[in-house]
Structure 1
Amino acid sequence: MKYEYLLIYLLMVVQASQAQTPKLDSLNRLINQASSDTARISLINKKIDLLVDVNIDSALALSLKTIGQAQKINFKAGEISARRSLAGCYILKGDYTAAKNNLKTAEDMAISLKEMSRLLKVYNTYGMLYGMQSKYDSSIAFFQKGIPIAEQGADKSGLEKLYMNIGTSYSMLSNHPEALRYEQKALRLAETNNNYRNQALCLVNMANTYKAMGDDLRAEQRYTRAIKLAQQEGLKNVELYAYSNMATIYTSQRKSQKAYEFASMAAKLSKEMGDQGMEAASLTTAATSLAEQKKFAEAERLGKSAIDIANESRQPLNIHQAYASMGTILKMQNKYAAAISSYEKGFAALKDADIYDSQTGDIYRELSDCYEKTGDYRRALSTYKIAATIADSVRGKENIRKSTELSMNYEFEKKEQAAQIEQQKQNAIAEARQIALLSGLVLMLLLAGVSFYAYRTKHKANTLLEAQKQQLQQQKSQLEEQKVQLQKTLTELQSTQRQLVQAEKMATMGKLTKGIVDRILNPLNYINNFSLAAKDLLREVTDVTQKYQPTFDPNDLDDLEDSSTMLSQNLDKINQHGNSTARILQGMQKLLKERSSTFATLDVNHFLEQHISNSLQKAVADYTPPLSVELIFHLQPQPLEVTLLTHEFTEVIANLIDNSCYSLSEQQRRQADFKPAIQVSTQQLDDQAEIRIRDNGRGIPPKELAQLFNPFFTTKPTAKGTGLGLYMSKDVIEYLQGHMKIESKEGEYTDVIIHLPLVTAESIA
């Protein structure tokens, strides 16, 4: 089993350009030489920020002491910084309540004093607080609050950290394109500012993102660069995270011994730093690696240590990983009951977290296997369904991610090429200016020959500029061609994605359900047919009874007639409900039927004129008394080109007209002078074609309106409705990238509104 470690969140700390120990020595000298108490406390706060990278317990103790000193001299700015640093230490120790209390105090003080730079650091630490609890949406919200503060104050260092932390949260949400976009922005700023500390942190997080995307080669390259920078700058925490994540790469590559070695180095370093969360995560990987080598006794010993330390850290993801690892180790030894207990404790730790990825699905699948081995088939099936649902979601996200990455790479390359072209142009202009300057100097020495030289120089510069202009035009033309090609590729990917989603839907649900429907329909037909045959036999029995009526006792004859009547009614009910059930099953067959793969681009106005009239004739044919409906068209004069699956969309139209006719017949039954009418209208709204089908029938009560698209919900009697028509219609419209809604007023009208994307020149390109 593979585990991902928590990515690094960057605290708002001072920059480190040399090794931490010399920097601490220098700060200690400055603290001793401080000319005032406020200056001394400010220097101590800088020292605390450096200590976080070396020893968390020392940083925590010094933070508490500094808060007391700042309060003693009423130095609120110093107290804000110390409380923010103390909160960061509490977060790393897993004491989130204490961290939140200190951050709230620091936030109120910073807002009161309008200390925006310190408020920025508080918001960043808030984001870290929620991120370490796996509540990544909340962490992103706090990081985003800091961006305008950093931009207004031109705090480039603050922007580095905010971009990096936002990228970290997106990576943990498996939104890898957004994660890389923010991480690249942070790395560029760190390189521009020569901030080696933040460069190392950025490289580790980018490596983690690449690892999550399955690109182990790029991940290893960035971990290696990060380790070198971390050792150069004395950043033990960065070195620790690089070791631990290298261990997970070797775990995924089945290099168990190397994974164990790197995980052990990470566990040792995290213990020295007092980072319980990383110590637990590293021991978890080491234990799993030993189990892969069949060293189960030692693996269980390390796994139990990991669980104890993870519980002390109070970090949900680490607790989940530790218990899940122990479950895997026990399962490998066929200790299924004990494994189930560990897996369930692991999932209990994640009840309030935002974790929903492929690893979670793998663990659910392993738990399902354990349930099956112990004979608990109900839980095995339930857990397997959860694993399958997660797998479907992850595959959908992966398809979307690939499409997004293709688009992002194209935009990035386009900007890089444009920058190169602009630089070439500037170089050419600079070269021309230099030649002109040299020509002026020669003019002072040789007036007679300089005019000819200046002419040739100018001509040469013009020729060069013209050649570069033509080259620029060619490059622009090539970029446009690349854009068209990439757009076509993106469209193909999106089409493939839709087909994959439909295929997965049929694979997971359709096979079983369709088989059941097909099996039920056959005996159901026998029931309906035999009910009709039985009624015919009953009629013959009744005729014979009437023929020999004088031979029967009058009381027996009355009882026989009552029984015959009751039996006839029962057979009618059997046939009625049998037909109703058959219609429901036939509707389910349509729902489960694989859609046609051929799309057609056509004018929706012409399509509606052609098919609505036919659908109306079929719908009114079965009504008694006859139903005469006025059909009114209000179609936009200009063609509205849309892309449809013609067979499926025809069924949608037929279903909507059938519903309207039923509503009209009900209103006609209630109102003597009622004139049934259906109005069909179309119009263009921006890049959408709007279709409205409105009837003046009985309408729909508000309490039923919200349930119309639920499967098996119907406003018709059981014998007439299946409750699947609107559900299937909405499914088809959404498959065509459109949407559908219904508006109604009881006793007056019902309005079905469909929006479909128009085919434009851009979408064709």
Structure 2
Amino acid sequence: MKGFMVLVLLTYCVTSSYAQKRKLDSLDRLIAKATTDTGRINLINKKLSYLVEVNIDSALSLSKRTIEQARAINYKRGEARARLEAANAYCYKGEFSAASANLKAAEEDFRALKNLGDLGDMYSGYGMMYGMQSKYDSSIYYFDKSREIAQQTGNNKSLSRAYQNLAVSYQMLSNYSQALTYFQKALVLAETAKNANMQAYVLINLAITYKTTGDTTRAEQTLLKAISLARQAAIKNVELYAYSNLSTLYQSERKYVKSYEYALKTAALGKQMGDQGMHATGLSNAAYALAHRQKFSDARALARQAIPIANLSKQPLNSFQAYYTMGAIENMMKNYQAAIPYYEKGFQAIKDADIYDDQVEQAYQELSKCYEKTGDFSRALSAFKTGTAIADSIRSKDNIRKATELTLNFEFDKKQQAVKAEQQKENAVAKTRQLALLVGLLLTLSLAIVAFIAFRTKHKANALLQKQKEEIQRTLAELKITQTQLIQHEKMASLGELTAGIAHEIQNPLNFVNNFAEVSAELCQETLDELQKLDLPEADKEYFQELMTDLAQNQEKIVHHGKRADSIVKGMLQHSRASSGQPQPTDINSLAEEYLRLAYHGLRAKDKEFNATLVTHLDPNLGQVSVESQEISRVLLNLFTNAFYTVREKQHQSADDYKPTVTVSTARTRAGVEIRVRDNGKGIAEPVKQKIFQPFFTTKPTGEGTGLGLSLSYDIITKGHGGTLTVDTKEGEFTEFIITLPVAVEMAVS
């Protein structure tokens, strides 16, 4: 299982490094001694910022009372700060409408008071609310505003918090390089301030990035260090999230006993704190670990318990995880039909969330398998493609390379800083010793020689380290490229085998249906002929003739639709077959002109009244291009046929002054060869444009198209020739398909 790692969003106020209970007791004593109402409310608000990390329900109850007390004395800032604390607690409870209402009320007061620090905390509160709803684009917008204010006011504590919250949001969007950049900035500030509390928050999130980029050893070490710091600062919510992430990490390493132990710790602490989302997460992880230990009955019980708790948290990712876990358990038990609804409910939970990670990708792959096992092949293919698209996005070699490079650079810079500090210390000792002993020129010269040797040695070591770093990066990049190519090859091979197998299995019974339908139609006609020879009453004869006529018509419809199905099956076989042709130098201009006229006369043979203007703009310097000419011919014929079809449809619906026109043009560009097919037909609506390259999607009436032409053309150009096939269109005016073939397939100009 690719684990459900849980990142921590920081609230607008973070506890200090003192133990929570000790700090709360101290604040209670100060509150009791407060001499003014405003001073007492300020102290209560400070207490709320600590209390929300210990007991959410208690924090929520106290914040409501504080709001009323501040309102009673018309203390606007105290009321607004209490509303911020209430919004924070509501977010943890999953009550986002109440959180939003409190934030809006606080925002109105803060803007009137014009206090930059308060406005920064308010933006941070908005960012947290959207982040906990998995709306990370919105959370980034508000956290960035909080960062700007922190930089403007020089508040390093708020700046570190803003950096980390931005990093968490980018991490959840699978932008690992940007996430690492902000995590590292936050960690530098926390270490400089020697703030154990802030370091704990940064480390737990940094560990998740390490795990995502494949460095599980560093991830485990960082999580254990985060737990140690969290216990030192008595930060229960950080300890809670660290337990959850360790459980997930051990899942990925197949250490299911350890994973189960930490999952139970997560569930217990989440329940104790009133954090329903983490309570449900712990139960889900425990259920998943039990399922892998073949304890399916206990696993099912925990998963069922997790679902309603996750839904109460109103956090999309928690609900997704709970439903996914139940689906995965049924899948492992080979109850594929039972698993499907749980996967589908999981995807429904995150349909409005900005989540693009490997958790969702794995869920789609498992759902594809369930559809396949239950015979729903079209949904299986759709789920497989969706999962593949997500995987290609989040595992892109550039994304992982940038994250790995940032990690290496950060570790290298820290080592360099340590060496520099040590060198400065040695220089200071040497200078003190020189002054104390009043050593003459000989000693000074000796020290200079030693320093020079050390410098040369250090320079050589740095050069060697840089060379090793570059070699590691190059090797990693090559491995990632090879891995991606192997994965893609296996995917396409499996998909082709599946499609071809289905098509072959369908074709035999389909042939029987068509053949027997045709034979039955002939038998009906023979029966009618024989019926005329029988001496029957006229009424009976008419009745039997009517029956046999209806039966003959039914057989004709079976034949008609059987041939439609046969064309679809043949299209599937074409779509799945591997090309056997070899690229040959081809005159693209001649090919385009030939198939333009072939498509035109083919349509004219069916509709004698149809006429169109054919326009060609063929680059005379195009030369020979190395392509599979048969495959390119199929693409051009499909595009020309579609173009003539749409202009004919528009001609039937338009005034007499409309002139159907189809244009083909070729050109040599810096990128390679470009072919454009343009018509002045009906154009394509935007919703339809998004689907035209999908298999079996067609806008033609029933019986006139299989929906495989453009999909097959797209595969031939992009996968067979490494080019692109795009479309430019305006509804009601024109459509233009653009084919580009890269330089790699070109021959020299003849």
Tell me the TM-score normalised to structure 1 length. 0.70
Letter in 2 for 1:635: D
Matching residue of 1:732: 716
Alignment of 1:272-311 (within 5 A): 272-286=272-286, 310=310
Matching residue of 1:75: 75
Matched, 1:87 2:87: yes
Query: Of residues 472, 492, 498 in structure 2, which corresponds to 1:502?
Result: 492
Q: 1:433 to 1:236 in 2, by over 3 A?
A: closer
Q: Measure, in 1, the Cα distance between the counterparts of 2:336 and 2:170.
A: 35
Q: Between Structure 1 and Structure 2, whose CA radius of gyration is higher?
A: 1
Q: Measure, in 1, the Cα distance between the counterparts of 2:420 and 2:329.
A: 63
Matched, 1:406 2:401: yes
Structure 1 residues 86-95 or 717-726, which shifts more? 717-726
Write out per-residue CA displacement over residues 129-186 of structure 1, whole angstroms, 9 at most, x where no aligned residue: 2333444454444434433333433443334333333443455556666555544443
Cα shift at 1:280: 4.0
Are the equivalent residues in 2 in contact too, given 1:684–1:690 (CA < 8 A)? yes
Matched, 1:611 2:596: no
Matched, 1:684 2:679: no
Are the equivalent residues in 2 in contact too, given 1:690–1:755 (CA < 8 A)? yes
Matched, 1:516 2:506: yes
Cα shift at 1:741: 1.4
Matching residue of 2:122: 122
Matching residue of 1:105: 105
Tell me the TM-score normalised to structure 2 length. 0.71
Write out per-residue CA displacement over residues 23-58 of structure 1, whole angstroms, 9 at most, x where no aligned residue: 334444555666755444333322221222222233
Q: 1:644 to 1:149 in 2, by over 3 A?
A: farther
Q: Measure, in 2, the Cα distance between the counterparts of 1:629 and 1:502.
A: 40
Cα shift at 1:677: 8.1
Structure 1 residues 394-403 or 114-123, which shifts more? 394-403
Q: 1:351 to 1:579 in 2, by over 3 A?
A: closer
Matching residue of 1:589: 573
Matching residue of 1:741: 727
Write out per-residue CA displacement over residues 272-310 of structure 1, whole angstroms, 9 at most, x where no aligned residue: 433343334434555666777788898787667656655
Letter in 2 for 1:611: L
Q: Measure, in 1, the Cα distance between the counterparts of 2:322 and 2:729.
A: 52
Write out per-residue CA displacement over residues 632-676 of structure 1, whole angstroms, 9 at most, x where no aligned residue: 4453858899x9666533432343355567789999999999998
Q: Measure, in 2, the Cα distance between the counterparts of 1:609 and 1:488.
A: 39
Structure 1 residues 192-201 or 587-596, which shifts more? 587-596
Q: Measure, in 2, the Cα distance between the counterparts of 1:140 and 1:127.
A: 7
**Residue correspondences, number:** 710
Cα shift at 1:739: 3.6
- Give 3-state SS (helix, strand or coil) of 1:691's partner: strand
Are the equivalent residues in 2 in contact too, given 1:368–1:380 (CA < 8 A)? no
In the alignment, structure 1 segments of 5+ residues that lack a partner are 542-567, 761-765
Matched, 1:753 2:738: yes
> Among the aligned pairs, what percent are the same residue?
38
Q: Measure, in 2, the Cα distance between the counterparts of 1:708 and 1:276.
A: 44
Structure 1 residues 430-439 or 299-308, which shifts more? 430-439
Matching residue of 1:17: 17
Q: Measure, in 1, the Cα distance between the counterparts of 2:423 and 2:374.
A: 71
Q: 1:474 to 1:588 in 2, by over 3 A?
A: same
Q: 1:228 to 1:518 in 2, by over 3 A?
A: same
Write out per-residue CA displacement over residues 548-599 of structure 1, whole angstroms, 9 at most, x where no aligned residue: xxxxxxxxxxxxxxxxxxxx9999999999887765554443222235698x
Letter in 2 for 1:655: N
Cα shift at 1:91: 1.9
Q: 1:119 to 1:390 in 2, by over 3 A?
A: farther
Q: Measure, in 2, the Cα distance between the counterparts of 1:246 and 1:258.
A: 9
Letter in 1 for 2:489: Q
Alignment of 1:494-643 (within 5 A): 495-496=485-486, 498-517=488-507, 520=510, 585-595=569-579, 607-609=587-589, 611-616=591-596, 619=599, 632-635=616-619
Q: 1:32 to 1:155 in 2, by over 3 A?
A: same
Q: 1:471 to 1:232 in 2, by over 3 A?
A: closer
- Give 3-state SS (helix, strand or coil) of 2:669's partner: strand
Are the equivalent residues in 2 in contact too, given 1:256–1:290 (CA < 8 A)? yes
Q: Measure, in 2, the Cα distance between the counterparts of 1:330 and 1:579.
A: 40
Structure 1 residues 458-467 or 299-308, which shifts more? 458-467
Q: 1:381 to 1:517 in 2, by over 3 A?
A: closer
Alignment of 1:408-423 (within 5 A): 408-410=403-405, 413=408
Alignment of 1:92-241 (within 5 A): 92-172=92-172, 179-210=179-210, 216-241=216-241
Cα shift at 1:421: 8.9
Q: Measure, in 2, the Cα distance between the counterparts of 1:330 and 1:724.
A: 35
Q: 1:119 to 1:299 in 2, by over 3 A?
A: same
Write out per-residue CA displacement over residues 404-458 of structure 1, whole angstroms, 9 at most, x where no aligned residue: 213432465468769989999999999999999999xxxx999xx99xx99x999
Matching residue of 2:632: 649
Q: Measure, in 2, the Cα distance between the counterparts of 1:609 and 1:367.
A: 46
Letter in 1 for 2:638: N
Are the equivalent residues in 2 in contact too, given 1:247–1:262 (CA < 8 A)? yes
Cα shift at 1:9: 1.9
Matched, 1:61 2:51: no
Q: Measure, in 1, the Cα distance between the counterparts of 2:314 and 2:651.
A: 68
Q: Give the superposed CA RMSD.
A: 6.3
Letter in 1 for 2:97: T
- Give 3-state SS (helix, strand or coil) of 1:741's partner: strand
Matching residue of 1:547: none
